[in-house]
C-alpha cells in the first residue's frame, strides 16, 4: 500500500496548510474517483477513513470470517497510520462496524492483539457494511 503524504495548499502568507492528505484519493469499481482519501493529518491528529479487508498489494478483497477480515483491516489501519507518521500505539479513538452483533466477542479478541495496552475510546456498531464486508474500522490517532 503506497501511502505518501500530500501537503495541503499554501496559505497567503506562504505557510503550509495544517491539513495534509495521506495517500491518493480512493477509486471504486470501474476506476471512478471516490470522494475521500485514506487519511488526513490535521494539526496533531491523523483521521483515518474506513479501512476494510482488502489486500494492499493486489487490491483484492479478502472474503473470510470476521476474524480474518478484522486482522487484515487492522494491518491496513497500521499501514495508513505509519504512512502518516503515527502508529496503533497512538490511537485515541476507534470506530468499528461489524456485520452482526453476534461477532462482538470475535472482534474484541482481534482488537486486543493490535491494541493491547491503554486502549483508546471506542464505539462498535452492528450495521450493513458496503460491499458486504464483515468489519470496517476508522480511527483517530495522534500524529
What is the per-residue pLDDT across 39-85, written as a single tens digit (0 to 9) for each? 999 999 999 999 999 998 888 999 899 999 999 999 999 999 999 99
Give 34's pLDDT tier (boundaries 50, 70, 90): low
CATH number, domain containing residue 70: 3.30.1330.40
Over 60: is that where the pLDDT of 16 sits?
no
Least confident of 14-18, 48-52, 118-122: 14-18
User: Is residue 9 over pLDDT 70?
Assistant: no
Structural domains of the chain, count: 1
Q: Which of 4-8, 9-13, 92-96 has the lowest mean pLDDT?
A: 9-13
Phi-psi bin for 6: left (phi > 0), alpha (psi -120 to 50), beta? beta
Residues 6+ apart with CB under 8 A from 125: 95, 96, 97, 98
Query: Which residue range(s) make up the domain with 110?
Result: 5-25+33-142
Amino acid at each position: 500500500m503506497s501511502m505518501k503524504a500530500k501537503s495541503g495548499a499554501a496559505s497567503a502568507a506562504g505557510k503550509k496548510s495544517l491539513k495534509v492528505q495521506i495517500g491518493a484519493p480512493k477509486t471504486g469499481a470501474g476506476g471512478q474517483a471516490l470522494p475521500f482519501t485514506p487519511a488526513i493529518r490535521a494539526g496533531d491528529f491523523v483521521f483515518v477513513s474506513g479501512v476494510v479487508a482488502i489486500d494492499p498489494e493486489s487490491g483484492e478483497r479478502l472474503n473470510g470470517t470476521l476474524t480474518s477480515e478484522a486482522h487484515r483491516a487492522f494491518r491496513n489501519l497500521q499501514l495508513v497510520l505509519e504512512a502518516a507518521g503515527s502508529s496503533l500505539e497512538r490511537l485515541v479513538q476507534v470506530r468499528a462496524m461489524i456485520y452482526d452483533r453476534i461477532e462482538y466477542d470475535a472482534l474484541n479478541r482481534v482488537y486486543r492483539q493490535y491494541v493491547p495496552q491503554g486502549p483508546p475510546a471506542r464505539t462498535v456498531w452492528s450495521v450493513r457494511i458496503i460491499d458486504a464486508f464483515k468489519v470496517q474500522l476508522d480511527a483517530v490517532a495522534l500524529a
